[in-house]
Amino acid sequence: MVHLHTLEPFDVKEARQTPDFERRVANAPLSTTTLARPLGDVRASFFQRIVSYLHDAHIHGDYVETGVQRGLSAVASGGALACRNMLRPKGHARMWLYDSWEGFPASTVEDGEYGRTVTDRLTNRANFKRADPGHTYNTFFAGKGYSPEAVRQKLQNAGVATEDAVVFRKGWFNDTFKQVRPTRIAFLHVDSDIYQSVYDTLVAFYDLVEPGGVVLFDDFGHFEGARRAFYKFLVWERREMPLLERHGYTEAFFIKGKQHNRPPQGLPPQNPLSVDNWSSKKKCQEV
Ligand SMILES: C[S@@+](CC[C@H](N)C(=O)[O-])C[C@H]1O[C@@H](n2cnc3c(N)ncnc32)[C@H](O)[C@@H]1O
């Protein structure tokens, strides 16, 4: 029996410097926890917390992730959803996973210098090796762990019935977002790094998020383009003022429709996703 909270902190940067990083991720022992481990325990348990909130608040709908790559966050979320019987065939939800599995499209001026350099490095095979000695484009993108098949395998290992529960959408967002989409979303996880991809995700899926559903931006504090897309779509265009909460140095999220964090009279302040509210009772046990 393994619990997410038993994880030791895991430093991805340090791990990447070890020669067998990709092999270790690809061959990781078969439990959600271990597979989610390169996320770091804090981030992995955050997915547990979000899913636990959705479960307890009876927010029904699917999980959508735009930017899946090796599936670290998909596995953390999928394991948590499966553990609570929220996914098909036991429950009703599906996971919709979108990625090119071929890297990023071209960045734009909206991404700023840092974002442009990083995505160019990750997308351009020649630049990649130069910018990141010790790693090649192939070990990062075409490695064993970087494909829908590899993600499917990891999800299955995490207890997700992928045939029933998971829809893989491989290709560029501007093609795959035109295909059949979910109708109700409980959890929209935006992890696609660059301005246009984050903006397109919001255009395609924001209106499908249920009231009470969670919208999570992985890159808010890390990539300027992701933050710009958030403000452009929600504030400038939609004139909404989501109650944005932060998690870690980069993540930002909000509960759709939530207007304030004032507690009901006589009760202490409460945020259903805050660390303070997370008791071990709420953790779903893993395989
Ligand atoms: C940071 S990675 C996702 C990490 C993943 N959530 C995890 O935890 O393992 C971002 C991914 O977004 C994908 N991506 C970004 N923009 C895209 C687009 N327009 N079309 C398809 N894939 C895109 C990239 O291929 C990349 O794999």
Question: pLDDT value at position 18?
Answer: 55
H or E element that contains 112: helix 112-123
Cβ–ligand 1 contact at 67 (below 6 Å): yes
Contact at 8 Å (CB) between 216 and 190?
yes
Number of structural domains found in the chain: 1
Q: How many whole angstroms from 8 Cα to the centroid of ligand 1? A: 26
147 occurs within a structural domain: no
Cβ–ligand 1 contact at 100 (below 6 Å): yes
116 occurs within a structural domain: no
> What whole-number percentage of the chain has pLDDT above 90?
58
Residue 117 pLDDT grade (very low, low, confident, very high; cuts 50, 70, 90): confident
Amino acid at 269: P
21 occurs within a structural domain: no
Residue-wise pLDDT tens digits, 218-271: 999 999 999 999 999 999 999 999 999 999 899 999 999 999 998 888 887 777
80 occurs within a structural domain: yes
275 occurs within a structural domain: yes
The gap from C-alpha 138 to its chain's centroid, in whole angstroms, comes to 23
Task: Read off the tokens for 221.
Answer: 């504090």
Residue found by looking up tokens 């035109």 in the block: 178
Q: How many whole angstroms from 105 Cα to the centroid of ligand 1? A: 10
Task: Read off the tokens for 8.
Answer: 């030791």
Q: What is the mean pLDDT of the chain?
A: 81
pTM for the complete prediction?
A: 0.83
Task: Read off the tokens for 165.
Answer: 């529960």
Name the closest-CA residue to atom 20, ligand 1: 172
Cβ–ligand 1 contact at 219 (below 6 Å): no
**CATH number of domain containing 207:** 3.40.50.150
Please name which of 12, 6, 5, 287 lies closest in space to residue 156, comparing C-alpha atoms. Answer: 287
Question: pLDDT value at position 214?
Answer: 98
Contact at 8 Å (CB) between 76 and 10?
no
Residue 36 has φ and ψ, to the nearest 5°, of: -80, -10
Q: How many CA atoms lie within 13 A of 229 on its CB side?
A: 30
Its domain, for residue 199, covers: 4-15+29-98+153-260+271-282
129 occurs within a structural domain: no
8 occurs within a structural domain: yes
Contact at 8 Å (CB) between 271 and 277?
yes
117 occurs within a structural domain: no
Question: pLDDT value at position 42?
Answer: 75
| Residues in a beta bridge with 170 | 99
